[in-house]
Amino acid sequence: MEEKSAQDVCGEGQVPDQDGKCVMPEVTFSAFVMSLNTSALYHLGELADPDTGQKIANLELARHAIDTLAVLEEKTKGNLTEEETELLKNILYDIKIRFVKVAQK
């Protein structure tokens, strides 16, 4: 029997809570950073549009997401947990490398 994913059960953007009720996922700093990373990946053409299946690069929007992550890193310095700091640092490094590769094509 095939197991259904959270999106199949609850619909787009929601997840089941411990009682099985469909709710929005908890807002955390890490989830926010991951959301910005997903946006940057999408605008780099690395993730397909869920409606069309097409991958389209828009470097201006990708740069905006990367710049937003960089501002977060600077403005939150000293106020994050070690795990949050590492997550943000690693995502910024990775996404900047990906941006350079796409921009050089």
Asked, for residue 44, whether it belongs to a domain, the answer is yes
Asked, for residue 1, whether it belongs to a domain, the answer is no
Mean pLDDT along residues 71-83 = 97
Among 8-12, 51-55, 86-90, the range scoring the smallest mean pLDDT is 8-12
For the chain, how many structural domains are there in total? Answer: 1
Asked, for residue 87, whether it belongs to a domain, the answer is yes
pLDDT digits (tens, 9 = 90+) for 15-59: 888 888 998 878 899 989 999 999 999 999 999 998 899 999 999
| SS3 at position 22 | strand
Q: Which domain holds residue 12?
A: 6-103
Question: Does position 5 have pLDDT exceeding 60, yes or no?
Answer: no
The pTM score is 0.78
